[in-house]
A and B are shown apart, each in its own frame.
Chain A
Amino acid sequence: MDKVEYLETTVPNAYHGTSRANAENIEKTGFRISRKPELFLGDGVYFYKGSKRLAESWAKGKYPEEEIATIVANIKLGYCLDLTIPEHRELLSEAIVEFKRRPNWRKVTDTFVLNYFAGVIEPQIDTIVHFREPEKIVKLFAGSQILTGGYMVICVRKTECILSFSIAS
């Protein structure tokens, strides 16, 4: 069999929700990497793949008193830790096992493990992709294998992977 050529993957419809003021600022100065403990995939700029509505909904929760806006971006996934792929998840599992062997490091969180993995062990990681399951699993209909909820989140660790963006209309 011929060797399969690796093609660069881009996501042309990734949405980032924020306040209108922030969005206008981002449009002028570009994105900055967020570093907060509540970012479950670690440091980065977060996008919803394909869903403007989810980005708006998140922004409304975050900025209840402000006008909100969404930014649509074209993202190059690059060197991507894709947590929808079992082999990629196994890498994190292995790192977690190693932490848990150490008495002082047993209570690590997603944020810490991902930041350690993508910041120390393999700092070349450009992006992290994750399918976030809904809190309550509901199938499309009885017997269906398709979930009614859940969404894809992209955490961009390197802003050069955001190839282009604009405030969505």
Chain B
Amino acid sequence: MDLDIKGLKKKIKDHFGSISDEELAQNAIRAGIATYTDLKLNFLEEGPQKAYQARPIIEAGNEANSGRLRILTGPVRQYYTSAVFGLEEISGGPAGNRSLGGVAVVGVIRNNYQGGGGVIQPSCPIDPGGANSSSSTENSLLRELCL
């Protein structure tokens, strides 16, 4: 079957004409493509302030991930480059691979992500300072980016 070019052009217009940024992010996450560097480019290059402006997107992704954000570190950023909406240097730190990259990435990861190699930090609810938060540095990062 050949593509219906005219029909698809209309479909594209209709799709974008009726969709909010949040819905667009949700679509991307559902389709499993919001974990890619592409989204990171939208928000990261301009730093945390830009990431803060992307708060609705973070929330959209957050909703798709059962109310959780996760902290990802170096190797994960390289290989999975999750839907990353915030980036900040974290020096040292006691936990696992944080020291490998020296970079923490706060982002939304895909629902079906299986992890691997122990490079993912524990799930971290948006609960800065709370019992479930994995470190004070991460908490402050979350506070800056998400709250």
Contacts and interface: CB of A to CB of B under 8 A. Distances in A.
Interface of A: 6, 35-37, 42-43, 78-81, 87-88, 90-91, 94-95, 98-99, 101-102, 104-109, 111-112, 115-117, 119-123
Interface in B9-24: 9, 11-13, 15-16, 21, 24
Interface residues of B, number: 32
Contacts of A87: 3, 5
Nearest to B78: A37
A43 B31 CA distance: 11
Interface of B: 1-3, 5, 8-9, 11-13, 15-16, 21, 24, 27-28, 30-33, 36-39, 41-43, 45, 53-54, 57, 79, 81
Contacts of A111: 33, 36-38
A116 B31 contact: yes
7 contacts: A88-B5, A95-B12, A98-B16, A104-B57, A108-B41, A116-B31, A122-B11
A112 B33 contact: yes
Contacts of A37: 36-38, 81
Contacts of B38: 37, 107-109, 111-112
Contacts of B32: 35, 43, 119
A113 B144 CA distance: 29
A107 B41 contact: yes
A91 B9 contact: yes
Report, nearest first, the 5 A-B pairs whose CB atoms are least far apart: A112-B38, A98-B16, A115-B33, A119-B31, A37-B37
A81 B9 CA distance: 13
B110 to A, nearest CB: 9
- For A79, A106, A116, the residue with the greatest tally of chain B CB atoms inside 10 Å of its CB is A116
A102 B2 CA distance: 30
Contact of A79 (B1, B16, B21, B24): B1
Contacts of B43: 104
Contacts of B37: 37, 109, 111
Contacts of B21: 102, 104-105
Contacts of A80: 3
A60 B55 CA distance: 43
Contact of B5 (A91, A102, A105, A108): A91
Contacts of B41: 107-109
Contacts of A81: 3
B3 A43 contact: no
A106 B42 contact: yes
A160 B38 CA distance: 28
A27 B18 CA distance: 45
